[in-house]
Amino acid sequence: MTLRSKSLFAADPHIQSRKRADARFKLYGLAAILAGLALLAVLLGTVIGNGLGAFQQSYLTLEVELLESKLDKNGNRDIEEIKKVTTFGYDPLLTAAAERLIETQNIQTDLRAKDIAKLLSKSAVSDLRDFVVADTSRIGRTVSFDFLVNARVDGYLKGRVTRESIADDKMISAEQLDAVDQLVAAGALVKRFNLDFILGSDASDQRPEAAGIGTAMLGSLAMMLVVLVLTLPVGVSASIYLEEFAPKNRLTDLIEVNISNLAAVPSIVFGILGLAVFINILHLPMSAPLVGGLVLSLMTLPTIIISSRAAMKSVPPSIRDAALGVGASRMQAVFHHVLPLAAPGILTGTIIGLAQALGETAPLLLIGMVGFIASTTPETMGDALLAPNSALPAQIFEWAKRADPAFYERAWGGIIVLLVFLVAMNAVAILLRRRFERRW
Amino acid sequence: MTMTRLVAAAAILTVSAGAAVARDRIQIAGSSTVLPYASIVAEAFGENFDYPTPVVESGGSSAGLKRFCEGVGENTIDIANASRPIKSSEIEACAAAGVTEIIEVRIGYDGIVFASDKSGAEFAFTPADWFGALSDKVLVEGALVDNPNTSWAQVNPALPDQPILAFIPGTKHGTREVFEEKVILAGCEATGAFDAIMAENGGDKKEAEKACMILRTDGLSVDIDGDYTETLARISSNPNGIGVFGLSFYESNTDKLRVATMSGVAPSVETIANGDYPVSRPLYFYIKAAHLAEIPGLKDYAEFFLMDEVAGPDGPLAEYGLVSDPELAETQAAVAEERLMN
């Protein structure tokens, strides 16, 4: 090693190289963060770019005459008889309304009224039937009704469908798109915000335009409720015992190791367990959010126990000692002092655990919550827990599998809803921590 | 506070156990090919009747029939959808679990189409081409050898010179069996490989059929265990690929796929209905007859499914790509009488 002879103010090569290494290291870190941010931006950009379309839908306004001769042949407004008219019986009304539309809007087309009526969604007849069955006094009147148009027309307005792309398509023709252009110009066909996507139910493969994620969202909420009600008390009790009361011996060590291991068990395992125990042995209903919630509780419990214990461990022993010193019992020390101070940490852990459970699909596959399920909105709390339903991630998975490209857009839209949910839950967790956390 | 919550949770469990005894919603599972049709019917059924909308799950014909054969009772499914007829081994498994009364319902026919990326070349296949491209062993100058073909032009000079890469349904799909029987086996017989195998193994027809259907495992034939959307995604990222789809799936995605002809016939509802297009198969669902009295609306659902307005040539199912069954009236009568299998 040579002696340094230079001034302290002039850096020698050794120090310079160390400084350069320092700067490089800083740069690596920065690059890592930038790469992460870039990936996040790509992810969010793709999700939003693909999914935003689902929040808008195209509607065609039609004047429909609710013909008594079609809907109530005997004219006695008997609800049972009116219910016998199936949705197929409503098709002629729409064709007649389409004919009137061609006349009043002066649409230049060689197409028959029937082909114009085919621009409508398949859900149009059932919407109309629900409207009539809800109030039979409407029969005989002419009503103005906003109908969804089918996914091809909607895709045309959104730019997804073009005249080239439908060259081989049997479901729509170029002449129909010409008529669509004229209807848009006349203001009868408009694209607007679609609340039904957020609040509505799943629809079958022929009506992607009518599908909504609301019912699946209720399924997810019901499951989260079950998870919260089951895991929070059990998880907190378990962690209080392990942290404050349990003797330190091999048995407790074994329990601790097992809890940590359980937290790492793949979720599909809990799904199989749920199928075997809850459905096949306990005979709980299939596809029910209650069962989904039970399965997800098993999955979430270890996470909550671990985070609750960490929160309680971070409360300084001086607090306990002080409480015990002035004569509090162990239980009083825990409930009056330790638990309130650990609460923010416990809640944060619980919310993170719930958020994790919210995004879980694999265990739901096995208990029958993936498929064409979330098609009727539950009306009561019991229904919400017991009637077959899907969940947000399961619904997204289901849509992504379906043939019609319009479902693909809805799958991305569903992802946006799911992400909003997760961000909201994490924001609550951060807020709670900020507000109540105490540092020692 | 903790105690009250626990009590509440216990109460929910008790209530649910009570509710589990009376299920009022039809539970269906099975073939992903039948799934769209079943969900279209389930939706319309929920709209037109006072019964709740049935639940339709997918997972494949075999998986659905397995669940169907788990037993009789509220916690088992009522209907299994299948894209192939039930096997005798499955009927035995059903009987062992107490499911002895099964009603078979044929809902119509579905075409199996071969399609490639829209931007790619046109293909006109025969079953022999597919056998030559995908079989483990092919006949070259009278001798059975390991399949040497890597390009479609090597199989048949009339085809484009494009590397062989086929995405075919995995073994859990009913579509696979139809593909093997109507394409690979037919091709095996047409190329003469069948007779060569027969000659080699001493005239055992069953074994020869099995040997015909062994596909190459060098990566040029890829099994897809997921749905047609996965096949479509593979083709989109790999324009040389050729995939096997259901007709209805192709008709929903004509903007991305180019369909190939088979033996000179382009697939369509018409050519399948009149039998010109060779690769089609019947679609079924199976009803657990013991549930007919227990689950409200089960028979109504089956009858609604088969109504002329639903499963007929002008119904919504035909519009979605189902080839309606010419003998629909016979099936309607069978369901009305609750006629059991065998």
CATH value at residue A389: 1.10.3720.10
Residue A378 has pLDDT above 60, yes or no: yes
How does pLDDT run across A117-156, given as a tens digit for each residue? 889 998 999 889 988 888 888 888 888 989 999 999 999 9
Percent pLDDT > 70 in chain A is: 98
Residue B20 has pLDDT above 50, yes or no: no
Give me A372's structure tokens.
């064409």
Q: Does residue B58 belong to the interface with chain A, where contact is any CB pair within 8 Å?
A: yes
The pLDDT of residue A209 = 92
For residue B12, the chain A residues in CB contact (below 8 A) are 226, 229, 290, 385
For residue B29, the chain A residues in CB contact (below 8 A) are 368, 371
Q: Are residues A173 and A242 in the same domain?
A: no
Look at residue A89 and tell me if it is in a domain: yes
Smallest CA–CA distance, residue A183 to chain B, in Å, is 24
Q: Are residues A287 and A145 in the same domain?
A: no
| Most A CBs within 10 Å, among B48, B259, B304, to test the A interface | B48
The pLDDT of residue B22 = 66
**CB proximity list for B294: less than 8 A, separation 6 or greater:** B74
Contact call for A382 and B15, based on CB within 8 A: yes
On whether the CB atoms of residues B156 and B129 are closer than 8 A, the answer is yes
Q: Are residues A120 and A264 in the same domain?
A: no
On whether the CB atoms of residues A286 and A374 are closer than 8 A, the answer is no
For the CA atoms of A433, A434, A436, B1, the dihedral, rounded to the nearest 10 degrees, stands at: -30
The pLDDT of residue A295 = 94
Q: Are residues A331 and A227 in the same domain?
A: yes
Q: Are residues A115 and A65 in the same domain?
A: yes
DSSP characters for B296-334?
TTHHHHHHHHHSHHHHSTTSHHHHHT-EE-TTHHHHHHH
Q: Does residue B226 belong to the interface with chain A, where contact is any CB pair within 8 Å?
A: yes
Chain B: residue whose CA lies nearest to A375: B53
Of A168, A205, A368, the CB nearest to B57: A368
Q: Give the torsion sign (CA, B72, B78, B82, B85).
A: positive
Look at residue A12 and tell me if it is in a domain: no
Reported confidence tier of residue B275, pLDDT bands at 50, 70, 90: confident
Percent pLDDT > 90 in chain A is: 51
Q: Are residues A422 and A339 in the same domain?
A: yes
The pLDDT of residue A71 = 84
How does pLDDT run across B45-98, given as a tens digit for each residue? 998 898 999 999 987 888 899 999 998 988 889 999 998 899 999 999 999 999
Any idea which fold B23-109+282-336 has?
D-Maltodextrin-Binding Protein; domain 2 (3.40.190)
Look at residue A230 and tell me if it is in a domain: yes
Model pTM score: 0.85
Give the DSSP H or E segment for B102: strand B102-117
Residue A322 has pLDDT above 70, yes or no: yes
Smallest CA–CA distance, residue A369 to chain B, in Å, is 8
Q: Are residues A230 and A109 in the same domain?
A: no
Residue B12 has pLDDT above 80, yes or no: no
Contact call for B2 and A237, based on CB within 8 A: yes
Any idea which fold B111-280 has?
D-Maltodextrin-Binding Protein; domain 2 (3.40.190)
Q: Are residues A148 and A271 in the same domain?
A: no
Smallest CA–CA distance, residue B160 to chain A, in Å, is 22
Q: Where are the alpha helices (DSSP H) in A3-143?
A: 13-51, 68-71, 79-84, 91-104, 113-117, 123-134
Reported confidence tier of residue B8, pLDDT bands at 50, 70, 90: low
Q: Are residues A220 and A314 in the same domain?
A: yes
Number of domains in chain A: 2
The pLDDT of residue A6 = 66
How many CB atoms lie under 10 A from the CB of residue A34?
Answer: 10
- Residue span(s) of chain B under CATH 3.40.190.10 come to 23-109+282-336, 111-280
Of A129, A206, A403, the CB nearest to B249: A403
Q: Are residues A279 and A357 in the same domain?
A: yes
Q: Identify the weakest region by mean pLDDT among A13-17, A168-172, B238-242.
A: A168-172
For residue A404, the chain B residues in CB contact (below 8 A) are 252
Q: Are residues A236 and A379 in the same domain?
A: yes
Q: Which domain holds residue A334?
A: 214-436
Contact call for B75 and A286, based on CB within 8 A: yes
